[in-house]
Structure 1
Amino acid sequence: NNKKYNYYLCIIVKTLVFTSENKSDNEYTVDTNSAQIYFNKVLMLQYNSTLEKFEGYTKKMMEIADDLNKSKRTLDYEKKCAEHSNHLLFVFFFPTVEPSVRITPVERQGNGHQMLLVCSAYDFYPKQIKLTWLRNGEKVVNDVTSTEELSNRNWLYQIHSYLEYTPSPGEELTCMVEHASLKEPKYYNWEPTSGAERNKIAVGTSVLLFGFLIFVAGLLFYKRKSP
């Protein structure tokens, strides 16, 4: 797997909930006696102010909880936050996963556009991503549709953007991808590498040229017949 893993900052706001009038008994919680951190609806880690320690619920978070519990300074800080704060910002670093991107053509039948290009981004994280079609470097606004980000049910996502177009010689079509895992946008050019795809463009170009010649011939014939 050649995917690049980076990190982005995830800030989770935990709300303090007082469970009794005696502040020594206070615990900050959502619905249990602990401050719980969920990620994608999965309980990852919590600080239990009664036990005064962190508890992890995944392999990685167990390791983090053990490290946090070994730090007296961290535990003292967390305890003070529970006693004196109504809100706590808790900071963790989670990995970002760079998407795998490919462009594939689909032939359309019975449509004014001969081709449909699909720009697909697979196995990326986090969910937020933006796909933009460019024609000769300019953003394409019309004839573009996109799916929502689709979950792979393994914390990774996929998305697809569709561009309807008529083949034109010398035209450059590009899918621009923007994502948290990328320091800058990435550009993926569509290249009709197969003979079949080149033939489709050649046929489309020939049809357009033939139609243009018929139009010119008809126009000249009309002018000659005109008085």
Structure 2
Amino acid sequence: MKLPTVIILMFNILSACSQIPHEVTYITGCFVNGTTEIQFEFDAEEILYVDFSKPELVYTVPAIIDPDPSQLLADLSVYENALKNKKLCLDFTALAKAEEKNPPEKRDPPESILYTEEEVQLGVENKLLCFVNHFYPPYIKVSWTKNGGPVSEGVSLSRYFPNSDGTFHQFSILMFTPSEGDTYNCTVEHSALESPQTSIWEPDVSDHSLVPDIYCGVGVTLGLLMFTAAVLLSVFDCQGSE
């Protein structure tokens, strides 16, 4: 079987008589058995090939052709260049053969999500987890930023954990205290990604869980006031009836 290791060099020449452009193609082809074929074509017709066993150039056109191909190519060191290109082509063939037996290692890009461990309350320390899953090979780089600046303090990274499908997952944890307006980024780098993958987290101030505890106190106070008012009204009613 012929491997797709073919070097093709093309250049144009002009006929000295007619000034009509012609195309000369130089082809080097390699086979897995180690043999190499090199030939010249003139307007898609073979005009010579290299016989490495003799060694010599074999012209396949009649000598009466004008211009004579042997004279036309005399200054191009055809055979010497053929030897160099033979070695180059065989090197490419050996590389292609090795890749067939040892295909590149499969790569699966990671998926990542960002979430907190506990219910979020402004001003209360929490853990922000960056969960990275379904990646292979088992190596990732995780980095954190807060409001665009790098963060390293309070950051930890778990070991790799295998999945049933042969991929891996891993956690990176950031200890933080959420404040309104802060933005946290978890960026993952992996060989299967064309560019780093970034997940973004920021506190949702519309979430009732982020409402300060004072609201709870206000609710209790209002309840007590309403209860007191109801008691007083009942007392006054009783006195009025007497």
Tell me the TM-score normalised to structure 1 length: 0.45
Which structure's relative contact order is higher, taking Cα pairs within 8 Å and 6+ residues apart? Answer: 1
**TM score, norm. by length of structure 2:** 0.43
Which of the pair has more CA radius of gyration?
Answer: 2
